[in-house]
Structure 1
Amino acid sequence: METTHIDIVIIGAGPIGIACALECKKRNLNYIVLEKGALTNSLFNYPLNMTFFSTSEKLEIDNIPFISNNPKPTRNEALEYYRRVTTSNALKINLYENVQKLNKTDYGFKVVSDLNTYIAKKVIISTGFYDIPNLLNVEGEHLPKVFHYYKEAHPFLLQDIAVVGASNSSVDAALEIYRKGGNVTMIIRGSAIGERVKYWVKPDIINRIEEGSIKAYFNSEIEEIKAKEIVIKTPDGQKTIANDYVIALTGYRPNLSFLENAGIALSKDGKSIPKYNSNTMESNVKGLYLAGVICGGRETHKWFIENSRIHAKIIAEHIAENLA
């Protein structure tokens, strides 16, 4: 395993990690981006036909134009945009290199991946939150019929599908599977479809539920998953319904243990918000910075691409001042 001495290690090659690399390059800072998966790995794992809530100009980084066919771009258009930004700027990114340890040392930081060891003066964590799903924690969740990510509807043709949740991802999956010939039942903990569901989609799902095309159990939860059935707790008592697949889109959370192991303090109010200086994005660990969605802890709806792009410039400016 090689040891590399470098000024800055950026962990995560999502849109904000890419933005951090651009800002470092502009300032002639010696950096490397380490990404455990594909470029913009979270976006890559989004549903194939996903459309963003944000318009394309709000997903732009470093004022590089993002041209899409419609005001709200698709997953594929976003992947193409971030690929071109990365390659045209010759950004230094190591894909499929997983950071395993991050330790503060007398000389900065020791970053250990599955491939290399880096001695860095500064580290930026921009790892998002999409890698760890919130589990249902019910019997049968381990069965191969249970999915916590949704890609496309085709495999669910003529099948009895339970979609758990009432967020954008749940609603999109329910509608697409229904329109591709699946028999969809939604299991929703709350009393209504989520408030954050895209305004142009919400009437569609409400109408499909009201007309009976999609069955919905509100104020309900799955209690058990069986090979060909699921058991649901509803306001009218326990019900058992036929089921071939469960798509549990109940949200995701950041790798908080990675932050804690690096010495970053988390709030104790259940939100696990990491401690950082909003003027510099430096955490309570000197020289260790946070960028993007990770700054919200468990509040994964607080930061998006469009409102956290500025983190990259703030961090790069502060690092440049301190390394001068």
Structure 2
Amino acid sequence: METLDILIIGGGPIGLACGLEAKKAGFSYLIVEKGCVVNSLFNYPLNMTFFSTADRLEIGGYPFPSIHPKPNRAEALEYYRKVADTGHLNLHLFEEVLAVSPQLDELYLVSTSKANYKAKHIIVATGFYDIPNLLNIKGEELPKVRHYYYDPHYYFKQKVLVIGANNSAADVALETYRKGAEVTIVVRDPELGSIKYWTKPDLENRIAEGAVKAYFSSRLLEIREEEVDIETPDGVVTIANDFVMAMTGYQPNFTFLKKLGIELSHDALKHPTHNPETMETNMPRMYLAGVVCGGMDTRVWFIENSRIHAEKIVNHITGKL
């Protein structure tokens, strides 16, 4: 059985950054990803544009050329794929980590869907895009309810209800409206939330002119095959509906983190325990990297400010060894 210095769980941008740092330091390493390379980015909306500029998304010293002020999904996929290829990263794709068990010889036994490995150190860089925050209302299990959004063309001439007040909800509302959908947006708060500065005025103007119907200080009560109930300040409103786009955010796989032995805070944010200087968790020689560090507080860490985690971790491992 192969014994590695470092095994990295997750092949997103930060997982790749960790692999590049491990390789530069001369460690034996392996990146294991349950999907395709940068799987979360692959599942982003087709027309998604990053808030960050290209230079803020760079890893490993590889320049990220972009023809736009803010790169889009297609450019990001091209960039990170090229980095993985040019950097000759040791990367196993479509291989899911099932269990990580500490051994008596200060190694971890890692069991995946395809093989077993032993590793001295584990880096968990699993992100938070796989598990949506549910509404927990009647009818949410219907096929018409979507927590992920890809292409607006699909919703041509459909009655679309968008739930949310931030970037994802704004993008879905505007893009589907411009492809011919009849769009209604439901916002829990009295106003729109944190939205990209070039998008927010557009949505506000569409709402003001009545092109997009908005219910503020409201929430969805029930979903049925052909209609939905909305609780508004003026009472319950029932409207016809074909699709519900629940852009309510996502969360890390807390079950997996606890299975690894990583402790979570007891408050609603469920912060995974780790040392912010070294990124080491309560499990010895097991580290966190990237957005997973924030728990439910998913607006704290992004690619641009968590790239440094890779260097912190490898520097700490170098000191240990």
Shorter chain as normaliser: what TM range? over 0.9
Contact 1:220 1:233 in 2 (8 A): yes
Aligned match of 1:213? 211
Residue 269 of structure 2 aligns to which amino acid in structure 1? K
Mapping 1:136-285, distance limit 5 Å: 136-194=135-193, 196-285=194-283
The CA distance in 2 between the partners of 1:64 and 1:230, in whole Å, is: 49
Aligned match of 2:109? 110
RMSD of the TM alignment (CA)? 0.8
The CA distance in 1 between the partners of 2:149 and 2:233, in whole Å, is: 28
Match of 1:101 among 99, 102, 108: 99
The CA distance in 2 between the partners of 1:157 and 1:274, in whole Å, is: 42
Contact 1:29 1:320 in 2 (8 A): no
Aligned match of 2:295? 297
Query: Cα deviations across residues 69-125 of structure 1 (Å, max 9, x unaligned)?
Result: 012000000000000000011101101001111122222211111111111110000
Aligned match of 1:125? 124
Match of 2:72 among 42, 54, 74: 74
Aligned to 2:83, what secondary structure does the other structure show?
helix
Aligned match of 1:16? 14
The CA distance in 2 between the partners of 1:23 and 1:80, in whole Å, is: 21
Residue 26 of structure 1 aligns to which amino acid in structure 2? K
Residue 158 of structure 1 aligns to which amino acid in structure 2? K
Query: Cα deviations across residues 129-159 of structure 1 (Å, max 9, x unaligned)?
Result: 0000001111111111110000011110001
Contact 1:282 1:315 in 2 (8 A): yes
* Runs of at least 5 residues in structure 1 that lack an aligned partner in the other structure: none
Residue 312 of structure 1 aligns to which amino acid in structure 2? A
Residue 64 of structure 2 aligns to which amino acid in structure 1? F
Match of 2:310 among 309, 312, 322: 312
Query: Cα deviations across residues 18-77 of structure 1 (Å, max 9, x unaligned)?
Result: 000000010110000000011101100000001000000000012211010012000000
The CA distance in 1 between the partners of 2:71 and 2:289, in whole Å, is: 23
Report whether the alignment pairs 1:39 with 2:32.
no
The CA distance in 1 between the partners of 2:103 and 2:271, in whole Å, is: 24
Residue 97 of structure 1 aligns to which amino acid in structure 2? E
Contact 1:126 1:291 in 2 (8 A): yes
Residue 152 of structure 1 aligns to which amino acid in structure 2? D
Contact 1:104 1:262 in 2 (8 A): no
Match of 1:84 among 78, 82, 93: 82
TM-score, length of structure 1 as denominator length: 0.97
4+ runs deviating over 4 angstroms? none
Query: Cα deviations across residues 231-270 of structure 1 (Å, max 9, x unaligned)?
Result: 1111111111000001101000000111112111111121
The CA distance in 1 between the partners of 2:170 and 2:311, in whole Å, is: 35
Report whether the alignment pairs 1:5 with 2:15.
no
The CA distance in 1 between the partners of 2:135 and 2:276, in whole Å, is: 34
* Runs of at least 5 residues in structure 2 that lack an aligned partner in the other structure: none
TM-score, length of structure 2 as denominator length: 0.98
